[in-house]
């Protein structure tokens, strides 16, 4: 690799930049919903609890289900960074409107927050998928930070409303600045764009695989809503469970890139099912179960994107829409909070994901130890052999140069002797 190439910014900067912005956006949305919107609606008098529940339901439906049409539009427009910056403005507008203690403005704030959240997830997710090159690792890092943002956002209600709002607006401005820098770097060095939008005619096998992947995403969403571990009332254990979600999402994609999507998915879900069985009584089992259960989020997202290489935004929106569908039963009150339920869902997910990934094994890395990984290893070996050959040829050239130099010196010495004679 040349010195100039080594000095160029790495494309991975995009992943970490949007992962940071993901944390801020989710933190801002949850913080505003709990700190301002719920407080104002809760003070509105009779039926306030129903209004709060309705506002949360409205936010979740718009923020997640809206991502499918947004993803389709972004695929066609190819204005991902601009859409991300617009999302910061929408969320910031929701933060400002939430400061007005009038119920009407609080409902507008909910819509702005939800629309901004949906727009950012599709825009940032699409930017990350564009540089992922069929890998799940970047997607895992991007989606992992959202869990931390949601968790920390729930604690902001104890602070003053104006203080929180000002802090959120500053953070959103920083996100806009970071996104602008990434946009300029991309234009100058990488020139990465969306692939020309196209959705091919799928075979019945591929359609079934997509349905199974979306089904697994919906099950995961519902499971996240019913993880009512008795020990989660302790702050330390609650924080550790969120850390497990973060680590599982972030590491799951990396592991899948090394040993294969299907192997990672089935192994992690079977392990999670086993750990969930005693999770109500043994916190460490529940924490480990949460960690392994979240391995598959990046796998399903990357797999959908690999099936739809010319419509990655649509794939992201499809996954998010499935999250909304899965959360809906729990939001309307249908909850079965029991360790057997968690284990059963994990096993069903393992079966569905294993079958789904097998059906599209030519589109995603699903080999027992990752055929894509082996292909990469072969490329590395080939590159090393090429470097060795170049080095060997270079040594031969150097030896010839030395021999030529010695020959010239000998010739000159002979000439001098002849002249002296």
Q: Are 63 and 48 in the same domain?
A: yes
In the chain, what percentage of residues exceed pLDDT 70? 82
Residue 5 lies in a domain: no
At 36, which CATH number? 1.20.1250.20
Q: Determine the average pLDDT of the residues in 88-109.
A: 92
Q: How confident is the model at residue 3 (pLDDT cuts 50, 70, 90)?
A: very low
121 with 168, same domain: the answer is: yes
Q: What is the pLDDT of residue 126?
A: 96
Average pLDDT rounded to a whole number, residues 264-280: 97
* pLDDT of residue 406 exceeding 90: no
Position 2 in a domain: no
> Looking at 96-110, 118-132, 384-398, which range is the least confident one?
384-398
Mean pLDDT of 29-49: 74
Token pair listed for 246? 């973060």
pTM of the complete model: 0.84
Sign of CA dihedral 74, 248, 328, 303: positive
Residues 248 and 207 in one domain: yes
Which whole number is the average pLDDT over 168-194? 94
Asked whether 19 and 144 are in contact (CB, 8 A), the reply is: yes
What is the distance between the alpha carbons of residues 57 and 20, in angstroms, rounded to a whole number? 26
Q: Which of 162, 194, 226 is the last residue of a domain?
A: 194
- Same domain for 384 and 361: no
Q: Are residues 219 and 234 in the same domain?
A: yes
366 or 15: which leads in pLDDT: 15
At 51 the pLDDT is: 80
4 assigned to some structural domain: no
pLDDT over 50 (residue 381): no
Of 173, 194, 215, the last residue of a domain is 194
Same domain, 23 and 165: yes
Which of 165, 194, 223 delimits the end of a domain?
A: 194
Note whether 115 and 100 are same-domain residues. yes
CA 201/CA 310 separation, integer angstroms: 13
Same domain, 211 and 85: no
What range does the domain containing 253 cover? Answer: 203-369
Check whether 384 has a pLDDT greater than 70: no
pLDDT at position 137 over 80: yes
In a domain, 210, yes or no: yes
**What average pLDDT does range 135-149 have in this prediction?**
96
Q: Examine residue 1 and state whether it is found in any structural domain, yes or no.
A: no
Report the SS3 class of residue 78.
coil
Report the Cα 211 to chain-centroid distance in Å: 20
Q: What is the mean pLDDT of residues 30-55?
A: 75
CB 81 within 8 A of CB 179: yes
Q: What is the number of domains present in the chain?
A: 3
Please compute the mean of the pLDDT values over residues 353-371 and round it to a whole number: 70
Lookup: tokens for 35: 């700190």
Say what the pLDDT of residue 4 is.
44
H helices of 283-370, in order, are: 283-293, 296-307, 312-331, 339-359
- 178 and 217 co-located in one domain: no
pLDDT for 102 equals 86
Residues 77, 182: Cα–Cα separation, whole Å: 18
User: 369 falls in which pLDDT band (50, 70, 90)?
Assistant: very low
Is 3 within a domain?
Answer: no
Cα-based distances in Å from 259 to 266, 270, 285? 12, 16, 24
Asked if residue 167 is part of any domain, the answer here is: yes
Asked whether residue 85 carries a pLDDT value surpassing 80, the answer given is yes
The reply to whether 291 and 319 lie within a common domain is yes
Backbone angles phi, psi at 294, to 5 degrees: -85, 5
Report residue 367's pLDDT band, with 50, 70 and 90 as the boundaries: very low
pLDDT of residue 324: 92
- Tell whether 411 is covered by a domain: yes
Residue 35 above 90 pLDDT?
no
Per-residue pLDDT at 382 exceeds 50: no
Whether residues 190 and 215 share a domain: the answer is no
Q: In this structure, are residues 258 and 252 in contact, taking their beta carbons and an 8 Å threshold?
A: no
Tokens 């192994």 label which residue? 267
The mean pLDDT of the chain is 86
- 110, 252: one domain: no
């Amino acid at each position: 690799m040349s010195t100039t190439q080594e000095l160029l910014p790495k494309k991975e900067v995009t992943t970490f930049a949007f992962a940071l912005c993901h944390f801020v956006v989710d933190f801002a949305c949850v913080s505003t919903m709990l700190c301002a919107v719920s407080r104002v609606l809760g003070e509105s008098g009779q039926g306030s609890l129903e209004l709060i529940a309705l506002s949360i339901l409205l936010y979740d439906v718009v923020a997640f289900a809206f991502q499918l049409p947004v993803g389709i539009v972004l695929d066609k427009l190819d204005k991902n960074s601009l859409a991300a910056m617009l999302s910061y403005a929408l969320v910031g507008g929701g933060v400002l409107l939430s400061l007005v203690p009038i119920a009407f403005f609080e409902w507008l704030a909910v819509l702005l927050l939800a629309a901004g959240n949906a727009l950012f997830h599709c825009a940032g997710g699409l930017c990350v998928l564009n540089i992922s090159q069929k890998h799940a690792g970047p997607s895992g890092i991007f989606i992992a930070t959202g869990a931390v943002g949601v968790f920390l956002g729930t604690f902001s209600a104890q602070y003053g409303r104006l203080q929180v709002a000002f802090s959120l607006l500053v953070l959103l401005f920083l996100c806009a600045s970071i996104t602008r820098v990434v946009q300029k770097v991309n234009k100058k060095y990488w020139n990465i764009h969306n692939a020309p939008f196209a959705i091919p005619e799928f075979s019945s096998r591929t359609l079934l695989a997509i349905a199974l992947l979306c089904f697994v995403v919906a099950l995961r969403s519902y499971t996240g809503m019913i993880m009512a571990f008795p020990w989660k009332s302790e702050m330390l254990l609650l924080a550790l469970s969120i850390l497990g979600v973060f680590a599982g999402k972030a590491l799951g994609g990396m592991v899948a890139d090394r040993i294969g999507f299907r192997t990672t998915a089935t192994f992690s879900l079977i392990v999670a099912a086993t750990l969930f069985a005693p999770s109500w009584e043994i916190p460490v089992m529940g924490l480990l179960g949460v960690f392994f259960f979240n391995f598959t989020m990046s796998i399903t997202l990357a797999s959908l994107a690999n099936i739809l290489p010319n419509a990655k935004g649509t794939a992201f929106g499809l996954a998010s829409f499935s999250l909304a569908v899965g959360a809906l039963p729990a939001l309307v009150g249908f909850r079965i909070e029991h360790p057997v339920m968690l284990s059963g869902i994990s096993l069903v997910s393992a079966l569905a994901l294993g079958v789904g990934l097998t059906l599209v094994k030519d589109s995603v890395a699903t080999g027992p130890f990752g055929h894509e990984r082996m292909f990469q290893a072969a490329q590395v070996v080939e590159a090393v052999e090429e470097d060795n050959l170049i080095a060997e040829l270079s040594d031969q050239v150097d030896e010839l140069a030395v021999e030529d130099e010695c020959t010239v010196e000998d010739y000159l010495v002979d000439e001098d002797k002849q002249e002296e004679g």
